[in-house]
Structure 1
Amino acid sequence: MKKSSNRSRQRGAFAVELAFVMVALCAIFLFTTDLSQKLLLRSQLDRTSFALVNILKERIRYYSEVVDDERVARYPLNQSDSRDMQILAARMLGVPQNKVAIQLDAMINMVPQASFTSPHFEQLHCQPLKPISQQKDLVPVEGGKIFPLYQVTLCAEPENWFLPFFGEKDGVTTITSTSVIPGR
């Protein structure tokens, strides 16, 4: 008779345990999905920033002027370069142009130049991983010629899947990617 009374007390225990297990499985699923989405976005930002900085370094090929029948490179960056890079980044990332958070930096003759920053970059309060002024050890010098150094920083704010599951709405994550390369 005691066996039947134990069964009656355990009725519904399986349902309660199943509910806890399902909540835990959902949390694990959301966490791994959230993490994989952030890693995917980081790799997209890395590829895009590297592609853009490689375009910027080709100053003679893409950003030169013909003076007295000779091609002269324009090493300093300008607002037009910033706009072009923002358009290219929007195409590569598949986002609207006004949602691209980008900053372009240059160092010419070991002197950091003015940065060109998109409005969305400032809204996200992004910062390069390392300011270009601290990158002087990367500047190549060959035969007395000091090569320019270019840096592209991209930021994005991914959607959070995991934090809202636990009721946190203010958890903002910003992912940043910076690429640096010497010019030609």
Structure 2
Amino acid sequence: MSEQTFITKCTTRGVFTIELAIIALFMSVIILFTADMVIKQSIQGMLDRMSYSAVSVLKERTQLYNKDEEMDRKQVEEIDKIVQTSLARTMPQFRPSLYSSYYQQIKFEGNPESPSIDVIPPITEGSKNSACKPPNQLKNIAVKLSPITNEGDRAPLFQVTLCYHTDNWFGQLVGEDYSWIRSNSIMLGR
């Protein structure tokens, strides 16, 4: 074998090795991104179902409690305990320290154009939970969402925001934070 043929074969192997390394790195990033998105979408679906169920129970709590009773922390804690138990049952990796929730009620007392808002802050207080906030201020859009009832008042609105802190695999790779998964549900009251 001549020296020229030997150099050509070594160069070809070197180029192939470099190309293989680049393709393997690219494929690893795609697999990491896909795995991260699948996990986050699964948790998002669970949170969506739970936030909708929680806002339904919050709306219908007048059937469980005194009809004129205001939403209070005790009622919200009972609802939130049910939500956490359901999440723990459907999500084996669920940890309450990574979970946070906000429960809001908008009422129109007196002036149908000026709502008042009751917010029950997060049930689970933790350093990570400070990043979980409702995605919008319901008070700013409440007049547009709430219809006027037969009695001439506006119907109350309820909003439940559930958050769960997840690993940030892909985000760490690209220097972003995609760790919070948030689900928000709004419902008209009776």
Query: Which TM-score band (shorter chain)?
Result: 0.7 to 0.9
Q: Give the AA of the match of 1:131.
A: Q
Question: What residue number does 1:112 align with?
Answer: 116
Question: What residue number does 1:179 align with?
Answer: 185
- Quick one: structure 1 residues 132 and 112, their matched pair in 2 at CA, closer, same or farther if it must change by over 3 Å? farther
Moved over 4 A (4+): none
Distance in 1 separating the partners of 2:118 and 2:128: 15
Question: What residue number does 2:164 align with?
Answer: 156
2:136 paired with 1:130: yes
- Quick one: structure 1 residues 4 and 122, their matched pair in 2 at CA, closer, same or farther if it must change by over 3 Å? closer
Q: Give the AA of the match of 2:70.
A: P
Query: 3-state DSSP class of the match of 1:113?
Result: strand
Check the 8 A contact 1:139/1:149 in 2, yes or no.
yes
Distance in 1 separating the partners of 2:171 and 2:177: 7
Unpaired runs of at least 5, structure 1: 65-72
2:70 paired with 1:76: yes
Distance in 2 separating the partners of 1:137 and 1:55: 23
Give the TM-score taking structure 2 as reference length: 0.79
Give the TM-score taking structure 1 as reference length: 0.81
Check the 8 A contact 1:75/1:148 in 2, yes or no.
no
Q: Compute the displacement of 1:132 (Å).
A: 2.1
Question: What residue number does 2:41 align with?
Answer: 39
Distance in 2 separating the partners of 1:99 and 1:162: 19
Q: Compute the displacement of 1:146 (Å).
A: 2.9
Aligned length: 174
Query: C-alpha root-mean-square deviation of aligned residues, in Å?
Result: 2.5
Identity rate of aligned residues, in percent?
25
Question: What residue number does 1:68 align with?
Answer: none
Distance in 2 separating the partners of 1:141 and 1:75: 21
Equivalent of residue 146 in structure 2, options 133, 139, 142: 139
Check the 8 A contact 2:52/2:185 in 1, yes or no.
yes
Q: Compute the displacement of 1:126 (Å).
A: 2.0
Write out per-residue CA displacement over residues 31-69 of structure 1, whole angstroms, 9 at most, x where no aligned residue: 1111222222222221111110001111332222xxxxx
Unpaired runs of at least 5, structure 2: 89-93
